[in-house]
Amino acid sequence: MLFKKAHQGRCFCAGFRYYRDMIAIIDYGMGNLRSVEKGFLKVGVDVRVTNRPEDVDNADGVVLPGVGAFKDCMQELANLDLVDAVADVIRKGKPYLGICLGLQVLFSESEEFGKCRGLDIFRGKVVRFEKSGLKIPQMGWNQLNIKNNNPLFNGIPDKSYFYFVHSFYVAPEDNSIIATTTDYGVEFTSSVRKDNIFAVQFHPEKSQALGLRLLKNFGDIVAAK
């Protein structure tokens, strides 16, 4: 069922503590993280791909990527004892960047394949695009309506295009966390931000120069902490 990961068994000899501002990219088997890792490295941000809770604890910032099904994602996080580690990171106020599923799992529940509980950091649901005539998944480049000042979008103009691949989107109960919206039949929440929690529905690692800029911005946020 699950996509087995690229980085399994890879040895990271360099100790975490030798890096300043280290960012952990959590690899829990949901999709290939190679582009996320390489994207950060391209813009000079140190990252480490890991599935160990202690690495997540020790990191200065955490990235939770992933594509696939919500339920599998929660299941895999649980199997690897990562649910508490991720929740701790958020509770401690360390910068968190969720990408795609890493956005969706922050919410209370998803209607994908029957109801499934999420991390419940934010109140709200993950729902499916329903409008008739709409191609699903939404696949391609769509624009962001940037709601307010947000360091993640430094240097990224309003209405910029990012790459999306998804059939579900988040519907937050608290509108104040909505960082950007995007139009696809409906105006949906394409990213959220609350304090040091940043999460995006689109794929910065596939969004060319502006995507790399966003990854760099997250690196700067972690460095500034």
Partner 1 sequence: MLAKRIIPCLDVRDGRVVKGVNFQNLTDAGDPVENAKFYDEQGADELVFLDVTASHEKRKIILDVVARTADDVFMPLTVGGGIRTLDDIRDLLNAGCDKVSINTTAVRDPYFIRQASERFGSQCIVVAVDAKRVVEGMRFEPGEPWLGDPYLSEVRLGIPSNGDTVWALSTHGGRKMRRLDAVKWAKKMQDLGAGEILLTSMDRDGTKDGYDIKLTRKISETVTIPVVASGGVGTLEHLREGLVEGKADAALAASIFHYREYSVHEAKEYLKSKGVPVRL
- By annotation, the residues acting in catalysis are 100, 203, 205
Residue type, 120: D
Burial of residue 189 (CB within 10 Å: 0-12, 13-18, 19+) is buried
Nearer to partner 1, 23 or 121 (CB): 23
Tell the smallest beta-carbon distance from residue 28 to partner 1 (Å): 14
Tell the smallest beta-carbon distance from residue 109 to partner 1 (Å): 20
Write out the residues near partner 1 by the rule CB under 8 A: 1-6, 31-32, 34-35, 38-39, 42, 67-69, 134-143, 161, 163-167, 183-184, 205-208, 211-212
Is 30 within 8 Å of 67 (Cβ atoms)? Answer: yes
Tell the smallest beta-carbon distance from residue 165 to partner 1 (Å): 5
Q: How far is CA 78 from the centre of its chain?
A: 17
Tell the smallest beta-carbon distance from residue 206 to partner 1 (Å): 5
Query: Would you give the DSSP letter of residue 124?
Result: E
Neighbouring residues of 102: CB distance < 8 A, sequence distance ≥ 6: 63, 64, 65, 66, 199
Nearer to partner 1, 60 or 66 (CB): 66
What is the C-alpha separation between 223 and 225, in angstroms, rounded? 6
Neighbouring residues of 19: CB distance < 8 A, sequence distance ≥ 6: 46, 48
Tokens, residue 225 = 């902490």
Nearer to partner 1, 85 or 116 (CB): 116
Nearer to partner 1, 11 or 224 (CB): 11
Query: Would you give the DSSP letter of residue 18?
Result: G
Is 74 within 8 Å of 116 (Cβ atoms)? Answer: yes
